[in-house]
Structure 1
């Protein structure tokens, strides 16, 4: 699971992942090849094949890294010793900012489970698909746990947890589809956009008063 310590990868490996994420985002899985990624990176195919035996393996590695980034975005709020509303506020802010700061990775992440239709032909690929499904479920469970705590204490309202949770996550994932980085988009602007998306999503749970993030003490 992603709560375990990460093993540092060589710089070249990381550069390949970034280039691949950008290619998969812009051109899609079918139109992207190892050649495409190599040209985008300004490297040889051999450099990529040194780490990844196939395009599917490269795609899975990009999605693995994207999932790590997504968990990193919500982990502080999930682990915080705060009220459910405050925890959810921190989780959602981290989530939305991750969608904007790691745009290419997040697009690949959201498209990743569609890889089932391409088929998993090797043991490594089958294991990757099972891992992706497990991680997706764990990610959703973290949100479900905090929302259930809020419902239990009366600070959140949910009719159907499954429908509400999926709709909630769609709202948080939204910036992947409509946000595009512009020159001058600093931290202040990103925070303002994230807060607006978060307020919209939290209202769907009956949370009308969202505490300013500056007033939240993370706890121990």
Structure 2
């Protein structure tokens, strides 16, 4: 619980951010439906009435959390894609950034982001869905570029994008920063190594691999129809489950 006098001594903008951060932590731990504004006020050591100087409702708090999440998702993404890099390196940077600088860096926020979407008001829900489609589209465009340049296999770009983001986003379910012996870089590099077996057209020379990435250790699949793509994804998921088991045993 935050000391009431300490809270009142903060600048107004800092107080508002403290309210948002506190609500985010409570929504993550208790769930949105089970958390009230009274809970947020109690955690901050202030009255519920005091909260209304900063937010009008619990719905607004959730909307703010999602707005901040979307801002974090796009921060630096477009700049990264404007770099003069081959598509395989762009994709490595995209995945590494998504895991390290988005999911793991703001874990409580994205735990809420991935679990409470259906609690949003309809207008907010539609806006968030629209922004998520924009982000997916960025990944799809990287794949299209890679396929057209002969770097990536001819895959279903939408299915492949969903698979990559789904695999990366699931990190919020099991990653415990204070307990895991794996750093965010370790996890990002391992995931990239696994995923590259599904989309790289051929083995690249060592000097053409991105920094901090390891060589793929899994057999490539020749056919790229949807059925075999799904089979590959099952194998990748199996590898991720093994990684999660290893992480849980080490905690």
TM-score band w.r.t. shorter chain: 0.7 to 0.9
Give distance in 1, aligned partners of 2:85 and 2:126: 33
Matched length? 197
Match of 2:135 in 1: 139
SS in 1 for 2:73: helix
1:204 to 186, 198, 203: 198
Equivalent residue for 2:157, pick from 151, 161, 183: 161
Tell me, yes or no, if the aligned pair for 2:41 and 2:47 is still in contact at 8 Å. yes
Q: Is the 8 A contact 1:77 1:88 kept in 2?
A: no
Q: Distance in 1 between matches of 2:196 and 2:41?
A: 42
* Distance in 2 separating the partners of 1:211 and 1:39: 51
| Secondary structure in 1 matching 2:199 | coil
SS at match of 2:55: coil
Matches within 5 A, 1:55-204: 55-72=58-75, 74-97=77-100, 98-115=102-119, 119-120=121-122, 126=123, 128-182=124-178, 189-204=183-198
8 Å contact kept, 2:73–2:98? yes
CA contact (8 A) 2:155 2:199 kept: no
Deviation of the 1:44 alpha carbon: 2.6
CA offset at residue 158 of structure 1? 4.2
Structure 1 unaligned regions, length at least 5: 1-8, 121-125, 216-220
Q: Match for 2:211 among 191, 210, 213? A: 213
Quick check: 1:96–1:197 contact (8 Å CA) kept in 2?
no
Once superposed, which parts of structure 1, at least 4 consecutive aligned residues long, lie more than 4 Å away?
207-210
- Does structure 1 conserve the Cα–Cα contact (< 8 Å) formed by 2:89 and 2:210? no
Q: 1:201 to 1:50 in 2, by over 3 A?
A: farther
> Partner residue of 1:12?
15
Across the aligned residues of Structure 1 and Structure 2, the Cα RMSD in angstroms comes to 2.5
Q: Structure 1 length as normaliser, TM-score?
A: 0.79
Identify the structure with bigger relative contact order (alpha carbons < 8 Å, sequence gap 6+).
1
Compute the displacement of 1:146 (Å): 1.0
Of structures 1 and 2, the larger Rg is shown by: 2
Counterparts of 2:76 and 2:99 in 1: how far apart (Å)? 8
Q: Where in structure 2 are there 5+ consecutive unaligned residues?
A: 1-11, 214-251
- Is the Cα–Cα contact under 8 Å of residues 74 and 90 in structure 1 kept in the other structure? no
> After alignment, is 192-201 or 141-150 more displaced?
192-201
Offset at residue 69 of structure 1 (A): 1.2
Q: In the alignment, is the contact (CA less than 8 A) between 1:76 and 1:91 conserved in 2?
A: no
